[in-house]
Amino acid sequence: MASTVIGAGIVIEGEVVTEEDIAIHGVLRGRIESKDAVAIEQGATVEADVTGSEVSVAGQLTGNVNASDRVVIATGARMVGDVKAARFTIQDGAQFKGHVDMEV
């Protein structure tokens, strides 16, 4: 379980900055920055630029992602934005529109 959880009924507009891993189940518009993992869970809607060590998308994300380790877009997820990460995985059935930079 993530150290920080934004629940399904929560809407945040602004910046979220944390040292811990974070899981988003609700709606977030703005910016997310974590030193650890960021998980955009199924049913979540995020309109933000996201920075983390590892970013996983199972919901909907509109924004750019910068990950020091890897980015995973899960089956059924939708992402529109650019990705910068050492490793990048798009699972079968995921939707992605953007550019990928795998230079670290």
Is 102 within a domain? no
What is the pTM assigned to this prediction?
Answer: 0.94
Is 15 within a domain? yes
Is 101 within a domain? no
pLDDT digits (tens, 9 = 90+) for 56-72: 999 999 999 999 999 99
Beta bridge partners of 33: 17, 51
Of the CA atoms within 13 Å of residue 32, those in its CB half-sphere come to 36
The pLDDT of residue 1? 57
Which tokens belong to 78? 């939708």
- Each as own residue / partner, the long-range contacts of residues 18-26 (CB below 8 Å, 24 or more positions apart, any chain) are 21/52, 22/52, 24/59
Distance CA 40, CA 91 (A): 15
Structural domain tally of the chain?
Answer: 1
pLDDT digits (tens, 9 = 90+) for 71-85: 999 999 999 999 999
- Pair 63, 79: CB distance under 8 Å: no
Question: Could you tell me the residue range of the domain that residue 51 belongs to?
Answer: 4-96
Q: Which amino acid is at 68?
A: S
pLDDT digits (tens, 9 = 90+) for 1-58: 568 999 999 999 999 999 999 999 999 999 999 999 999 999 999 999 999 999 999 9
Of 39, 41, 48, the C-alpha closest to 70 is 39
Q: With cut-offs at 50, 70 and 90, classify the pLDDT of residue 89.
A: very high
Q: With cut-offs at 50, 70 and 90, classify the pLDDT of residue 104.
A: low
Does residue 94 carry a pLDDT above 90?
yes
Is 104 within a domain? no
Largest CA distance in the chain: 37
